[in-house]
Amino acid sequence: MAELTEEILKVDRKKKIYIQYAAIFVLIMVFGIINFLFKTSDVWRNKEPKYEYETISSEDLLNLMSQNKELILVDTRTEEHFKKGHIKGAMNFPFTNVERMENVLRENRGKEIVIYCENGERSKKISDVLSNLGFSKIRNLDGGVTAWINSGGEVVK
């Protein structure tokens, strides 16, 4: 009988130890999950401000040009297309060199910048890139220089 009682006590001690280890394991897992959620939420909610570019029409660009003397126009077409005709006052930064464009425009980060290309598709992508780089006042010319010309806008060579 004493042996049976001693064996029961051994089993009870083993159960207690297993239960304690299981409780410690569960606590570690819970704290790990909580820590993971708090740490990754900082990654999900990046502290950097996110900007979005605005798409404007040719008429809107004409209004901006008449109101804002510090407006920056960026033509993202190739140099050959730029020489064939561009909006007056535009700088040419071909789409192939966005890094150079960003370096030159960095000092004008807070100014209004209008990006355009031939038909507006490529300039959408570049506007998105510049917005993600922290440029807060990016505008994309809807339809590009083609829409500008079709609406009666002037181009220079």
User: Is the pLDDT confidence value at 16 over 70?
Assistant: yes
pLDDT-based confidence at residue 40 (cuts at 50, 70, 90): low
Q: How far is 156 from 148, CA to CA, in rounded Å?
A: 12
Does 140 or 41 have the greater pLDDT score? 140
pTM, two decimals, is 0.66
User: Is the pLDDT confidence value at 46 over 60?
Assistant: no
51, 62, 67, 71, 155 from 148: Cα distances, Å = 25, 9, 18, 16, 9
The whole-number pLDDT of residue 101 equals: 82
CATH class assigned to 54-156: alpha beta
What would the mean pLDDT of 112-123 be, rounded to a whole number? 92
Does 12 or 58 have the greater pLDDT score? 58
User: Is the pLDDT confidence value at 7 over 70?
Assistant: no
H-state helical runs in the chain: 2-44, 58-67, 79-84, 98-105, 121-132, 144-150
Could you tell me the residue ranges of all domains in the chain? Answer: 1-47, 54-156
